[in-house]
Structure 1
Amino acid sequence: MNDNDPQEGRSEERDTNRKMLGKLVVVAVAMFGFGYALIPVYRHICEVLGINVLTQKDGTVAPPKNTQVDMSRSITVELDSNVQGTLRFRPTQRSITVHPGEMATVVYEVVNSQARPVTAQAIPSYAPQSATPHFKKVECFCFQQQTLQANEAKQMPVVFFLDPALPKEVKTITLSYTFIEIAGVNKTAAAPGGVVR
């Protein structure tokens, strides 16, 4: 018999491959089992340590609390509006009471009663001046120019919060917007047929 029998070499190779496949299957099953077992272990560890617990003992979901809200203070935010141009502009409410750190939304309404498009920009101001760095706007129509088509009305929200570092002596803040018309008079509007009026 020849020691270099190709049949015998292939047989040994197949046996080696089968053993390796068996080991890989065992490793894959063990990894899946370990990953699957981590979920209840993680939950139990979190419960014991009181970390990231969303479910209370009775099974109800605990609402998340915003620990940044200072419930011991209430600030009145008065809303004001001014216009430079032809637009009508006003807040839909005169004031709102908020706690520092609490997210709030107010709405301003603008109306273009002209028979032409008007573009304007809102400029905010605050009183007292010391409140300015503590008034944090998340969403505001003042971030960009607003174009209103002829006879269009818009309601525009302002989403904000007051930084809890707001000085303690500040009890009332006035948020005032001046809406300034910056474009809209289009003297070279083309009539139908390409004739300039």
Structure 2
Amino acid sequence: MSKNDPQGGSQERGLNRVMLRKLVVVAVLMFGFGYALIPLYRKICEVTGVNFLTLKDATVEAPSNTQVDKTRTVTIEFDGNSQGPWRFRPTVASMQVHPGEMTQVTYEVVNTQSRNVDAQAIPSYAPQQSAAFFKKVECFCFTQQTLGPNEAKQMPVVFYIDPKLPKDVTTITLSYTFFEIGGKDKKAG
């Protein structure tokens, strides 16, 4: 057939349509097969007992951290002192925790100035012997903080009390002093 043959062009278009239909059918079948694999995979795993996660049973107790000492509680008191142009305070005054239990508390700071302020928080503990047993996982005191003009921040402290804390320690005070770094010569930026 020549390129100018009108019948050859229509035959080619017909073959293209047939090929397009076949490709659409293959694509739909592939999607359906992929979609069907999820329940099929679960059923195969259930039958063979391989990689099968059972559904939660109401009679089964949820796993717990075995290092948490549920036999005692420690009162943690929170305190915030500021040495600079801001308001700084914990959002709660105290809480009861079990040794070994992961806990979070939030401190709030508000820059009352119309300029940027760089600051750092330094923790202290009472009684002093408790410092070795107070384990911080995440804390705003790990890094220097920059507060924009009139900015307010909520800053978390994630911690746990080491279960080896002596039994006679029933109350720990975590106190932060938040102070400015670099002086007052910075301008708002």
TM-score normalised by the chain length of structure 2: 0.68
Structure 2 contact 133–165 (Cα < 8 Å) conserved: yes
CA distance in 1, matches of 2:61, 2:170: 32
C-alpha distance in structure 1 between counterparts of 2:148 and 2:172, whole Å: 33
* Residue type of the alignment partner of 1:136: K
Name the SS for the 1:72 alignment partner.
Answer: coil
2:15 corresponding residue in structure 1: none
| Alpha-carbon distance change, 136 to 190 in structure 1, aligned in 2, over 3 angstroms | closer
Matched, 1:69 2:68: yes
C-alpha distance in 2 between matches for 1:155 and 1:97: 21
Deviations 1:80-132 (A, max 9, x none): 11111111100111001000000111110000010000010000000011111
TM-score normalized by the length of structure 1: 0.66
Quickly say closer, same or farther: Cα 1:55–1:168, change in 2 above 3 A: farther
Structure 2 equivalent of residue 97 of structure 1? 96
Q: Aligned residue for 2:16?
A: none
Show structure 1 runs of 4+ deviating over 2 A: 39-44, 53-56, 58-62, 183-187
Where do residues 1-197 of structure 1 align in structure 2 (5 Å cutoff)? 40=48, 58=57, 62-183=61-182, 185-186=184-185, 189=187
Contact 1:116–1:185 (CA under 8 A) maintained in structure 2: no
Q: Distance in 1 between matches of 2:101 and 2:88?
A: 26
Distance change >3 Å, CA 101–CA 185, structure 1 → 2: same
- Compared CA separation, residues 43 and 62, structure 1 to 2 (3 A): farther
Aligned partner letter, 1:86: P
How many angstroms apart in 2 are the aligned matches of 1:61 and 1:159?
Answer: 29
Counterpart-to-counterpart distance in 1, 2:174 and 2:54: 38
Q: What is the CA–CA distance in structure 2 between the aligned matches of 1:190 and 1:136, rounded to whole Å?
A: 36
Q: Count residues with an aligned counterpart.
A: 146
Structure (1 or 2) with the larger CA radius of gyration: 1
